[in-house]
Amino acid sequence: METVREWLNALRTGECSARDAVTTALERIRTVDPQLQAVIAIDPERALAQADTIDRQRAGGEDPGPLAGLPIGIKDVICEKDVECTCASQILKGYRPPYDATVITMLRRAGAIPVARLNMDEFAMGSSTDHSAFAITRNPWDTNRIPGGSSGGSAAAVAARMLPCALGSDTGGSIRQPAALCGVTGLKPTYGRVSRYGLVAYASSLDQIGPLALTVEDIALLLPHLAGHDPHDATSANLPVPNYPAALFQDLRGVRLGVPKEYFIAGLDPAVETAVRSALHLFARNGADCVEISLPHTEYAIATYYIIATAEASSNLARYDGIHYGWRAPESTTLDEVYSHTRRRGFGEEVIRRIILGTYVLSSGYYDAYYLKALKVRTLIRQDFTRAFDTVDAIVTPTSPTPAFALGEKLNDPLQMYLSDIFTVSVNLAGIPGLSVPCGFSPDGLPIGLQILAKPFDEMMLLRVGHAWQQLTDFHLRRPPVCATSFSRPTTHA
């Protein structure tokens, strides 16, 4: 029992109870996580109490919801009421939100059970999950390598079968890149499709919550319980939520796929290029029409992203001052020391680097030269995609230019770390949806991801193409070495 569909079938048929499902997930975490450190915290009592409520409802003939009893992991940047939310940062140690994020409310209403808080790069700033104040998460396929980031804990937990699914957040690739490097499926919805209320902000015009799971079918089952208009989020789109599982019943015939020439560049790992081009051939053999397109402003995406994202981060993170909430440097004796000591010791080096950069590009004399110019280039990047979608239904690219790299390999070279997101940041700048699916393995046995992009609010096309791909391949079902030979299947006890 590994995929969301398998878990839900077992729960609906009575093959296992909600308590059994939660107990199984907790046991898998205890067995596997010491090798990976994907989990920041668990609250067994809280999860089991929700499971018992669901079991009582079922026994009484009530419908506890379409996801009833499904264990799920939550990236530690999404608020749960009275549950510590640290964003993997010392500065938020001890912070317990007084409310649930909208996505948590929706998942609980559907019966899903949050079981674990998952590790991440501090404040979602990173591509490796090296940048956590609490632990370095490891890749289930090779524990000497990174799982990607910033949602590395979410991707690693799903890949290692600790949990059937997890929530992540994606500001510049933070769902799709770790999904690719850990061999799972990850969706960044269109900006505005899923409420950001209760997501601790990094860059507000770029952030988006999304799911990670083993299969596209799993994503389609989860998305209806995450998407929808939310009056608490001013950027939430007031649009109907489609019947996402219906996308799974369409094949590739007649689908026109764009292949941007700017994504096959120097620096692209040969194994990644081979896997992606093989995928294109398989798409073509099964009815899709693959055509070359151009996204000419792609080369400016990294610079544009790291100006806009850091500027917004500088503003958003100004609230962490040791006064209002979170951690305060204990030796401070003056107000100036409270601010300076708390922020210097509470934030990690990568967060400080981005705050400094963002403050600089917003400063007097540099605003026009950097920030304003970046906003104009962002418009050009968005227009590139708009023109492309006039001629194609979806765009197919590599997700990451390389497979997972070694732990600590790029910590002392921030630019190289930033380039890990070269194929993903444009999607956030344009506000369009993106899906990463496994498409092969490197000679070292490391997963490779294929990125599928669609026009705004056309997640149905992503699910259609991604599911069709997974009907032709089995990369998404292969198990990493860190998994035990088999996991026990929960059974309901009398």
- CA dist list (Å): 169 to 76, 383, 403: 10, 24, 21
Asked if the structure places residue 339 within a domain, the reply is: no
Asked if the structure places residue 158 within a domain, the reply is: yes
Active-site position among 17, 75, 89, 188: 75
Asked if the structure places residue 327 within a domain, the reply is: no
Residue 21, pLDDT score: 98
User: Does the annotation count 174 as an active-site position?
Assistant: yes
- Output the six-digit token pair for 323: 């006064």
- 238: three-class secondary structure by DSSP: coil
- Could you list the residue range(s) of the whole structural domain that residue 9 is in? 4-238+252-298+378-477
pLDDT per residue as tens digits for the range 349-359: 999 999 999 99
Asked if the structure places residue 371 within a domain, the reply is: no
Asked if the structure places residue 303 within a domain, the reply is: no
Asked if the structure places residue 488 within a domain, the reply is: no
Residue 302, pLDDT score: 97
Active-site position among 132, 151, 169, 174: 174
Residue 490, pLDDT score: 53
Active-site position among 89, 150, 154, 400: 150
Residue 256, pLDDT score: 98
Give the C-alpha separation, 430 to 237, whole Å. Answer: 15
User: Does the annotation count 150 as an active-site position?
Assistant: yes
Identify the CATH number of the domain in which residue 199 sits. Answer: 3.90.1300.10
Give the C-alpha separation, 46 to 492, whole Å. Answer: 20
Give the C-alpha separation, 383 to 377, whole Å. Answer: 10
Query: Which residues of the chain register pLDDT less than 70?
Result: 484-494
Contact criterion met (CB below 8 Å) for 156 and 140: yes
Residue 484, pLDDT score: 62
Asked if the structure places residue 342 within a domain, the reply is: no
Domains contained in the chain, number = 1
